[in-house]
């Protein structure tokens, strides 16, 4: 069965600083990987996704993520965080095309002025 | 940009009452899903629906839950007799068929409070 671990429950960074949110997955084959962002009381917005090909994927809002098969990781990065990036971030994995996504517990990002 | 829409945005119901949450998926999508998120917890898969039948469901999706696509546009989740522990945000989602079928687009959610 697929699973996702987000080791960091809460991260605080200063505005303008770089950000890396960790995600580790467990799945036997090449997974489909996603990062979503959720602002308080809002739905889930897809930031980026990885299916195959280039292991460094670019997403919206200046985010990128790198798939590392050897480490079973799909970490999310942003070179310079903005106050509006404060939100909950979820990593998710799907095993099959149009199959269910399994979500991690989420990482809450706080941005200090 | 097309989006998944959900109604109601918030519903308060008494324990034991039936609740129907409604969703309008993106028009050309063929796969439909319901997820839920209990306050402060992770997003959990409930059920997926394709070709007018359930394709997969989780252990959470017991006999109290049902889904239906009553017409060409709506996708509903019914909870027959609500329990306190059903209080959660319920997200509807949809995806296309084919290579993009694993990109799931979520609605804004329906917040259900059972009292």
Write the pLDDT tens digit of every residue in B75-107: 999 999 999 999 999 999 998 866 555 678 899
Pick the CATH number of A3-112 from 3.40.50.300, 2.60.40.10, 2.60.120.10, 3.40.50.620: 2.60.40.10
- Distance between CA B24 and CA B7 in Å, rounded? 9
Yes or no, beta carbons of B107 and A102 under 8 Å apart? no
Instruction: Read off the pLDDT of residues A24-35 as tens digits, 9 standing for 90 and up.
Output: 999 877 788 999
User: Nearest CA to CA, how far is B34 from chain A (Å)?
Assistant: 10
Yes or no, beta carbons of A105 and B42 under 8 Å apart? yes
Q: What angle (nearest 5°) sits at the alpha carbon of residue A102, between those of residues A97 and A106?
A: 135
Where along chain B do its domains lie? Answer: 5-114
- B41, B44, B102 ranked by CB distance to A94: nearest: B102
User: What does residue A91 show for φ and ψ, rounded to 5 degrees?
Assistant: -95, 145
Residue A109: name the closest of A47, A27, A32, A31 by CA.
Answer: A47
Yes or no, beta carbons of B98 and A97 under 8 Å apart? yes
The residue whose two tokens read 């002025």 is: A113
The CATH number that domain B5-114 falls under is 2.60.40.10
Parallel, antiparallel or unpaired: strands B31-37 and B88-95: antiparallel
Q: Quote the mean pLDDT of chain A.
A: 91
Residue B19: name the closest of B99, B88, B106, B97 by CA.
Answer: B88
User: Nearest CA to CA, how far is A3 from chain B (Å)?
Assistant: 12
Residue B15: name the closest of B111, B85, B76, B67 by CA.
Answer: B85
- B58, B103, B106 ranked by CB distance to A44: nearest: B106
Residues of A in contact with B48 (CB under 8 A): 98-100
- B41, B97, B109 ranked by CB distance to A98: nearest: B97
Size of interface A-B (CB pairs under 8 A): 61
Residue B95 sits at the chain A interface (C-beta within 8 Å): yes
- Distance between CA A97 and CA B2 in Å, rounded? 21
Two structure tokens written together for B39: 């306050």
Instruction: Read off the pLDDT of residues A68-92 as tens digits, 9 standing for 90 and up.
Output: 999 999 999 999 999 999 999 999 9
Give the residue-averaged pLDDT of A48-76: 93
Residue with the bigger pLDDT between B30 and A16: it is A16
User: Model confidence at A53, in pLDDT bands (50, 70, 90)?
Assistant: confident
Structure confidence at residue A41 (pLDDT): 75
């Amino acid at each position: 069965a697929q699973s996702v671990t987000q080791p960091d429950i809460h991260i605080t960074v200063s505005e303008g600083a770089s950000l890396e949110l960790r995600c580790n997955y467990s799945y036997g084959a090449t997974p489909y990987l996603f990062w979503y962002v959720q602002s308080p009381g809002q739905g889930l917005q897809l930031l980026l996704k990885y299916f195959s090909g280039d292991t460094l994927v670019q997403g919206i809002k200046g985010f990128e993520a790198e798939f590392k098969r050897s480490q079973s990781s799909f970490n999310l990065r942003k070179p310079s965080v903005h106050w509006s990036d404060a939100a909950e971030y979820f990593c998710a994995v799907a095993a099959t095309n149009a199959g269910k996504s399994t979500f991690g517990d989420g990482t809450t990002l706080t941005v200090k002025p | 940009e097309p989006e998944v829409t959900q109604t109601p945005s918030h519903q308060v119901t008494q324990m034991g009452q039936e609740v129907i949450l409604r969703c309008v998926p993106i028009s050309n999508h063929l796969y439909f899903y319901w997820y839920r998120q209990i306050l402060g917890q992770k997003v959990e898969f409930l059920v997926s629906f394709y070709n007018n039948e359930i394709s997969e469901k989780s252990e959470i999706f017991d006999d109290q839950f049902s889904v239906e696509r009553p017409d060409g546009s709506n996708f509903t989740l019914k909870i027959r007799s609500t329990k306190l522990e059903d209080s959660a945000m319920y997200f509807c989602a949809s995806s296309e068929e084919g290579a993009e079928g694993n990109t799931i687009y979520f609605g804004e959610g329906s917040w259900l409070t059972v009292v």
